[in-house]
């Protein structure tokens, strides 16, 4: 019987994952490039009452009305006044299309599987379920997001149907009188 030698894959053919990186403040984040449908400049967002504060509202994308999630607010960061320099990343989450409002898009990061580090353990006080890993992005570290976990079914239900009771216990942001 003949023996066949199994050739190893050359390093150049090793599977590489691609992530679209973006910034929120001074931090870099990444989402799987395959989840990204398009990148749009900031445009009008119509607020929807009785949604969580991080659901900014909806926008018209070529006839389709899509919910917009402000990732700054979703991560508990300080809200900012958005300008034409901010960006909406249109993504596919399951069968739905949504927009992520971010400060700026940075680059496409090519990462080999062995270069993705697990999320650090911050203990029981920090929810890191939505972090799929960490990767080097130049001199910074990009937090790689599991967008399906980050935008849970509860968020998607509220965004798709503002009259639903899901997420109704969350406080609603209100403007204070000056």
Whole-angstrom distance, CA of residue 97 vs CA of residue 161: 14
- Among 65, 64, 45, smallest CA distance to 56 is for 45
Number of domains making up the chain: 1
pLDDT at 54: 92
Which CATH number does the domain housing residue 103 bear?
2.40.50.180
Range of the structural domain that residue 84 is part of: 16-160
The residue whose two tokens read 């570290």 is 141
The conformation of residue 91, written as its DSSP 8-state character, comes to E
Residue 110 belongs to a domain: yes
Residue 79 belongs to a domain: yes
Stretches where the chain sits below pLDDT 70 are 1-14, 123-127, 137-138, 153-178
- Among 176, 178, 160, smallest CA distance to 51 is for 160
Residue 55 belongs to a domain: yes
Residue 113 belongs to a domain: yes
pLDDT at 121: 74
Residue 104 belongs to a domain: yes
Residue 3 belongs to a domain: no
């Amino acid at each position: 019987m003949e023996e066949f030698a199994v050739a190893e894959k050359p390093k150049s053919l090793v599977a590489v994952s691609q992530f679209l990186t973006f910034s929120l403040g001074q931090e870099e984040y990444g989402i799987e490039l395959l989840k990204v449908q398009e990148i749009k400049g900031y445009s009008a967002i119509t607020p929807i009452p009785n949604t969580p504060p991080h659901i900014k509202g909806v926008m018209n994308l070529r006839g389709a009305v899509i919910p917009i999630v402000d990732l700054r607010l979703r991560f508990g960061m300080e809200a900012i006044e958005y300008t034409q320099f901010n960006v909406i990343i249109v993504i596919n989450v399951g069968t739905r299309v949504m927009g992520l409002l971010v400060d700026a898009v940075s680059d496409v990061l090519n990462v080999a599987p062995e270069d993705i580090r697990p999320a650090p353990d911050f203990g029981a006080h920090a929810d890191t379920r939505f972090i799929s890993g960490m990767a080097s992005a130049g001199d910074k570290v990009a937090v790689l997001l599991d967008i399906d976990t980050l935008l849970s079914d509860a968020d998607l239900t509220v965004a798709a149907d503002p009259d639903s009771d899901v997420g109704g216990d969350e406080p609603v942001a209100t403007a204070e009188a000056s």
